[in-house]
Amino acid sequence: MATVPTITLNNGVQIPQLGFGVYQVPPAETATAVQTALEVGYRHIDTAQMYGNEKGVGEGIRAAGVDRGEIFVTSKLNNGFHARDDALRAFDQSLADLGFDHLDLFLIHWPLPGIDVDFVETWKAMEEIYRSGRATAIGVSNFHAQHLGRLFAETEVRPAVNQVEIHPYLVQDDLRAFDAEHQIVTEAWSPIAQGKVLDDPAVVRVAERTGRTPAQVTLRWHVQRGDVVFPKSVTRSRVEENFALFDFQLSEDDMREISALDRGERTGPDPETFNHVPR
């Protein structure tokens, strides 16, 4: 089985560079999907309170019979829980739903810059969770440079990761450089743009040149850029395909051809204007 490289976070914790995402995996199918991913060899699962499937993630891990200590699990604070007490309670609920005594990484899912709870207050709650030892690392998702700048100025713990939308149609090089400059690892969500980039002629050309599939060359492009990725699939053959990234390389020309597809196109909301809080 291929070895997945790890990346060291700013507090010394190691994260596998390739994981398995479970956004839009229906709760009733999540245990099976996670068990399949673990059988294939994945040791990193990315879930969130918002996905409603943390129970399934815990069940899948127990069913696979892989030691909890060998698996890196991330979850994220839901948008309705940004106030301190709500955040602490929601974190406890995540642990209860997963059936764990700790999370490897806990993130603020969205900054929600327009709501009445300032994300700086939310980050201070994240710091409390981190100091309790029940989250081995903490980070953010969908934060831009100005949001991170406020955390640097007003709080103590530096986020370990920033998980943002990145794929060939949205390469986010400025934000990635900002993260790197501040010792924050960038994680790329929707790494194949939910499938949208796979028919792109340039991606297909690189796939033909390397004898790999469009998904594999796109995911390999992320890996060679140094980002963490966790493609989602409920299809076993694709789960296997997306794991086979470490026995080939893209040339500089291949990398450039894929990067040139950037057109600033999002598949998801813009963090500057997204302020949705569930009732």
Ligand X SMILES: NC(=O)c1ccc[n+]([C@@H]2O[C@H](COP(=O)([O-])OP(=O)(O)OC[C@H]3O[C@@H](n4cnc5c(N)ncnc54)[C@H](OP(=O)(O)O)[C@@H]3O)[C@@H](O)[C@H]2O)c1
- Round to whole Å and give the CA distance between 243 and 18: 8
Q: What is the 3-state secondary structure (H, E, C) of the chain?
A: CCCCCEEECCCCCEEECECEECCCCCHHHHHHHHHHHHHHCCCEEECCHHHCCHHHHHHHHHHHCCCHHHCEEEEEECHHHCCHHHHHHHHHHHHHHHCCCCECEEEECCCCCCCCCCHHHHHHHHHHHHHCCCECCEEEECCCHHHHHHHHHHCCCCCCEEEEECECCECCHHHHHHHHHCCCEEEEECCCHHHHHHHCHHHHHHHHHHCCCHHHHHHHHHHHHCCEECCCCCCHHHHHHHHCCCCCCCCHHHHHHHHCCCCCCCCCCCCCCCCCCCC
Tell me which stretch binds ligand X (CB under 6 A): 62-70, 78-86, 201-209, 225-233: 225-233
Residue 236 as a binder of ligand X (CB under 6 A): the answer is: no
Residue 175 as a binder of ligand X (CB under 6 A): the answer is: no
Chain positions 103 to 142 lying near ligand X, rule: CB under 6 A, are: 109, 141-142
- Round to whole Å and give the CA distance between 137 and 72: 11
Residue 78 as a binder of ligand X (CB under 6 A): the answer is: no
Residue of 15, 22, 71, 129 that binds ligand X (CB under 6 A) = 22
Residue 179 as a binder of ligand X (CB under 6 A): the answer is: no
Chain positions 48 to 77 lying near ligand X, rule: CB under 6 A, are: none
- State in angstroms the smallest separation of the CB of 109 from ligand X: 6
Residue 198 as a binder of ligand X (CB under 6 A): the answer is: yes
Q: Number of residues in contact with ligand X, rule: CB under 6 A?
A: 28
23 in active site:
no
Residue 162 as a binder of ligand X (CB under 6 A): the answer is: no
Tell me which stretch binds ligand X (CB under 6 A): 21-29, 95-103, 119-127, 245-253: 21-29
- State in angstroms the smallest separation of the CB of 64 from ligand X: 18
Residue 218 as a binder of ligand X (CB under 6 A): the answer is: no
- State in angstroms the smallest separation of the CB of 222 from ligand X: 10
- State in angstroms the smallest separation of the CB of 18 from ligand X: 12
Distances in Å between the Cα of 147 and the Cα atoms of 82, 119, 121, 270 are: 15, 8, 13, 13
Residue 200 as a binder of ligand X (CB under 6 A): the answer is: no
- State in angstroms the smallest separation of the CB of 66 from ligand X: 19
Tell me which stretch binds ligand X (CB under 6 A): 1-9, 111-119, 178-186, 191-199: 191-199
Residues near ligand X, by CB under 6 A: 21-24, 46, 109, 141-142, 163, 189-195, 198, 215, 230-235, 238, 241-242, 268
Catalytic positions are 51
